[in-house]
Amino acid sequence: MNRFFINKIKLPGKYIILDDPEQLHHLRDVLRIKPSERVAVFDNSGNEYIVSVSEIGQLSAKLELLERKLHDGSGIKITAACAIPKKVKMDDIIDKLTQLGVECIIPLETERVIVKLNKQKKLERLERWKKIALSAAKQSQRSKLPVIKPICELKDAVLMAHDFDLKLIPTLEGKRETLKEIFNNASGKINTVMVLIGPEGDFTPGEVGLAVEAGFLPVSLGAQVLRVDTAAIAAVSFIKLNEEH
C-alpha cells in the first residue's frame, strides 16, 4: 500500500488533509492515485492511518479516515552518532539506519573526518538527509521518522548521552569487549542505547578517552577493519537482533 507523510495528523475528525506540495505531487502526478483508492498516511509522532482518497485538488487532497494502524512501540531505542565518511556514503548510512529502525542519527565531525563542511553545506546536507530518511521510512513501513540531528563534534554528542541505559564506542585499539559479551552480562533491561561510530582510521585515543569518561564502553565489532557504513549497519543490526531475544 502506498504511504504518505503528513507532518502532523490532526484528529479527531473524519477527514485528513494532505497539503504538502511534494507529497501531493507524488500522490496525484507520479502514482496517479484516484478518488476511492486506499492509501496509508503517517506523521512524525508514530501515528499511521488507512484512508480512502475522497478528493484531489491542485493544492490539497482530502482523505477519509478508515482505520488506525497499531504499532508495537517496544524494542530498544537506538541513537547512532556516526562520523561523516567520504563521498556520499552518509546518504547510504541514513537510508540503512532508517530502515533498521534507529530512533535518532547524529552526523559527527571527528578529528580524523576528512569531509569538512561550511555552515551552508551543513544545512543543505541536513535537509537532504531528512528527505532520504523520509523515503526510507516509507519504503520500510516505519510509522515514525528518525530524528536527524545537525552535524556536531564528538564532545557535543557525548553530552547528549547521559540518559541512555547503554553507551557504546566501537574502536580498534585497547581493551574491548564484544557486543555479545556486553549484552550477555547486562544486569538489567536495556531500553535505550547510544553507539558512536568512528571515521576511517578510527577515533583518536583522546576521543575514546573522552567517551569512556562519559560512560561509553569500548567494544569490538570483530577481527576485520570495517568501513564507516559497514560498522554502523553491523552495530545497529546486532542491537536490533538482540532485542528479539
Percent of the chain with pLDDT over 70: 97
144-162 tens-digit pLDDT: 899 999 999 999 999 999 8
Identity of the amino acid at 23: Q
pLDDT at 219 over 90: yes
Higher per-residue confidence, 8 vs 104: 104
pLDDT at 199 over 70: yes
Q: Does domain 77-242 have CATH number 3.40.50.2300?
A: no
| Alpha carbon of residue 188 to chain centroid | 25
Counting Cβ atoms within 10 Å, is residue 156 exposed (0-12), middle (13-18) or buried (19+)? middle
- Determine the pLDDT at residue 244: 53
- Determine the pLDDT at residue 245: 46
Residue ranges covered by each domain of the chain: 3-68, 77-242
Indicate the pLDDT class of residue 143, thresholds 50, 70 and 90.
Answer: confident
Residue 7 burial (CB count, 10 A): 11
**Helices 89-99 and 119-140: angle between axes, nearest 10 degrees:** 40
14-56 tens-digit pLDDT: 899 999 999 999 999 999 999 999 999 988 777 889 999 999 9
Mean pLDDT over 183-193 rounds to 89
**Closest C-alpha among 193, 202, 232, 192 to residue 94:** 232
CA–CA separation, 145 and 142 (whole Å): 7
Mean pLDDT over 164-175 rounds to 93
- Determine the pLDDT at residue 72: 60
Q: Tell me how far CA of residue 232 lies from CA of 94, 135, 227, in angstroms.
A: 10, 19, 9
Mean pLDDT over 175-203 rounds to 91
pLDDT at 103 over 50: yes
Say whether 32 sits in a helix, a strand or coil: coil
User: Of 85-89, 130-134, 155-159, 182-186, which range is least confident?
Assistant: 85-89
Indicate the pLDDT class of residue 104, thresholds 50, 70 and 90.
Answer: very high
pLDDT at 9 over 70: yes
Note whether 3-68 and 77-242 share their fold: no
CA–CA separation, 143 and 45 (whole Å): 8
State the maximum Cα–Cα separation within the chain, in Å, rounded to a whole number.
62
Higher per-residue confidence, 181 vs 143: 181
Fold of the CATH domain 3-68: Ribosomal Protein L25; Chain P (2.40.240)
Mean pLDDT over 101-109 rounds to 95
pLDDT at 225 over 90: no
Higher per-residue confidence, 238 vs 7: 238
Higher per-residue confidence, 119 vs 13: 119
pLDDT at 71 over 80: no
Q: Output the average pLDDT for the chain.
A: 91
